[in-house]
Amino acid sequence: MRKRKAKVFRPTAFSFPYLAVTLIFVIVPLFLVLIYAFRGANGGFTFENFRLVFTDKETLRQLGQTVGIAALSTAICLLIAYPVAYVLSSRPFNKMAILALLFVIPMWINFMLRIFALQSLLTVIGVKKSFGAAVIGMVYDFFPYMLLPIYTVLSNMDKSYVEASTDLGANPALTFFRVTLPLSLPGVISGVSMMFMPIFSSYAITKMMGDMNTTVIGAKIASLFENQNYGDYGYGSALSFILLLIVLVVMLVGSVLTRRTAKAPSKGGKA
């Protein structure tokens, strides 16, 4: 009898509530979006919604601008976050976690309040609503998502690799590019993924800080679902589905790159 009770109460049973919530609030809504994507204005099955996505010039322009804003904002954040994380994880600062916490504290404030504050500051210094202002808003809002993964990897990195490189005669620059940078790539990839993907759906920042010509595809989807026209639901669902596919591809590429970079040091060690 005891063995039977042990089999009934398995640790995996605690995952059932999470699976139920995921099924109801994630899988089912995504399935409904997929159904709407293949339904026309008359309720019949159609590919017209997907055809419009790839033929409408305005949609393609917004999609390209979304990719451009996401790529530029991610690149700027990476160029700023990596040196900051490198300094914070170095010996003089690695025991002062409060310094890293200072970059996280703004995340405790509602992001709309942060954007309002940044917008007021840019107005004072004479920066008007534009593509550049929207990029500044993205960098300001998503910077911690780039900093923290890189900082965590650099802080937990085995410093004996750096010491061994120095003992073998490598200068600091060679040690950085041959040892530190390759070992920190998982954090870089994680930071890029965590920042690049949310920008696709984060349209509030571009709406508040961008001009009339600066829009992301998320704003297009929101406007389609806000309309009462049934046909717009299908078009918005098709756009959402394609956006989901882009995000999944980015996640898959990031996962593959992370696995490869994680295996690289072990292979080098065996050699």
Q: List pLDDT tens digits, range 122-146.
A: 989 988 888 889 999 999 989 989 9
- Of 268, 249, 252, 254, the closest CA to residue 186 belongs to 254
Q: Is residue 19 part of a domain?
A: no
- Provide CB contacts within 8 A for 36, sequence distance 6+: 233, 234, 236, 237
Rounded distance between C-alpha atoms, residue 182 and residue 177, angstroms: 7
Quick one: pLDDT band at residue 255, thresholds 50, 70, 90? confident
Residue 132 lies in a domain: yes
Burial of 19 (0-12, 13-18, 19+ CB in 10 A): exposed
Q: What CA–CA distance (Å, rounded) separates 106 from 115?
A: 11
CA distance 144 to 151: 10
- Assess if residue 91 is contained within a domain: yes
The one-character DSSP state at 128 is P
- What does pLDDT average to over the chain? 82
The verdict on residue 251 lying in a domain is: no
Residue 198 lies in a domain: yes
Q: How far apart are CA 89 and CA 104, in angstroms?
A: 15
**Any idea what DSSP says for residue 93?**
T
240 belongs to a structural domain: no
* Whether residue 163 has pLDDT greater than 90: no
Backbone angles phi, psi at 39, to 5 degrees: -115, 135
Nearest to 243 by CA among 203, 204, 209: 203
Cα–chain-centroid distance for residue 208?
Answer: 20
Query: For 61-102, what is each residue's pLDDT tens digit?
Result: 888 888 889 899 999 999 999 999 988 888 666 666 677 777
Number of H helices, E strands in the chain: 14, 0
pTM of the model: 0.80
The enclosing domain of 153 has a CATH number of 1.10.3720.10
Residue 14 lies in a domain: no
Candidates 189, 201, 192; CA nearest to 225 is 201
* Tally of structural domains, the chain: 1
Highest mean pLDDT among 2-6, 192-196, 212-216, 264-268: 192-196
Distance CA 185, CA 193 (A): 12
258 is a domain residue = no
Which domain covers residue 140, as residue numbers? Answer: 62-216
Neighbours of 64 (CB within 10 A): 11
